[in-house]
């Protein structure tokens, strides 16, 4: 069972995801090129992730986990199952790597759910991966200042501003504030849901 490191506050614990991804990939005799074909992520970026030079977003990590036949709980803390009601006072914070983005899950848990929703905190200096995948995404900036680059065009968001775009367009987020920025994110491919029969608490 993967170590569960969910907490409401404090410093996230190790391990980082890079060595776990590399060990699983090599255990399956899978090349970086093959993993890139399955996830839509570049070989160069995946190499940086495995060497802990880059931290994947939750969406990218979900696709990596699926390609490797692993549950997302193998790589990061997974909040408790919440049902259809998610109480603000009980909401848990999770992360992919210490010092990177943190996530508060807002969506519920029920069969057939088709989207995910999070409050996401971007740390100072954050530069996300360039990504593209199926679906669409909606973002509302809650605090700070964030630049989104979508198909080569820059959109600078101030608090209250929103973006709604197709996910098959190349997109990237950069924190332009001196401190953390917080945004509400709604998108496809439900994540932070344990696989059927997976571990829970």
Give domain limits for the chain: 17-74, 88-187
- Of the pLDDT bands very low, low, confident and very high (cuts 50, 70, 90), residue 67 is very high
Global pTM?
Answer: 0.81
CA distance 6 to 64: 21
Which of the two residues, 104 and 82, has the higher pLDDT score? 104
Do strands 102-105 and 162-166 pair parallel, antiparallel, or not at all (unpaired)?
unpaired
Q: Which fold has domain 17-74?
A: 434 Repressor (Amino-terminal Domain) (1.10.260)
Question: Would you say residue 44 has pLDDT above 80?
Answer: yes
CA distance 124 to 66: 30
What pLDDT, on the 0 to 100 scale, is given for residue 193?
55
Burial class (CB in 10 A: 0-12, 13-18, 19+), 192: buried
Please determine, looking at this structure, whether the domain spanning 88-187 carries the CATH number 3.90.1150.10: no
Whole-angstrom Cα Rg for the chain: 16
Query: How many Cβ atoms from other residues are within 10 Å of residue 83's Cβ?
Result: 9
- Of the pLDDT bands very low, low, confident and very high (cuts 50, 70, 90), residue 7 is very low
Question: Would you say residue 197 has pLDDT above 80?
Answer: no
Tens digit of pLDDT for each residue in 72-85? 888 887 777 778 89
- Axis-axis angle for helices 32-39, 43-50 (nearest 10): 110
Instruction: Name the region of 77 (left: φ>0; alpha: ψ -120 to 50; beta: rest).
Output: beta
Tokens of 102: 């943190």
Ranked by mean pLDDT, which of 61-65, 158-162, 167-171 comes out on top? 158-162
């Amino acid at each position: 069972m993967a170590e569960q490191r969910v907490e409401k506050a404090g410093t996230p614990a190790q391990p980082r995801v890079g060595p776990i991804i590399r060990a699983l990939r090599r255990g399956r005799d899978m090349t970086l090129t093959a993993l890139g074909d399955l996830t839509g992520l570049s070989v160069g970026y995946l190499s940086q992730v495995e060497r802990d030079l880059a931290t994947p977003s939750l969406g990218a990590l979900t696709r990596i986990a699926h390609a490797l036949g692993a549950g997302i709980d193998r790589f990061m803390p997974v909040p408790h199952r919440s049902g259809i009601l998610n109480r603000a006072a009980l909401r848990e914070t999770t992360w992919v790597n210490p010092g990177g983005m943190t996530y508060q899950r807002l969506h519920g848990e029920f069969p057939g759910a088709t989207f995910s929703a999070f409050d996401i905190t971007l740390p100072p200096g954050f530069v996300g991966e360039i990504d593209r995948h199926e679906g669409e995404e909606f973002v509302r900036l809650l605090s700070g200042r964030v630049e989104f680059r979508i198909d080569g065009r820059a959109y600078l968001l101030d608090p209250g501003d929103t973006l709604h775009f197709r996910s098959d367009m190349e997109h990237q987020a950069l924190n332009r504030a001196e401190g953390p920025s917080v945004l509400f994110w709604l998108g496809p491919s439900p994540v932070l849901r344990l696989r059927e029969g997976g571990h829970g608490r």
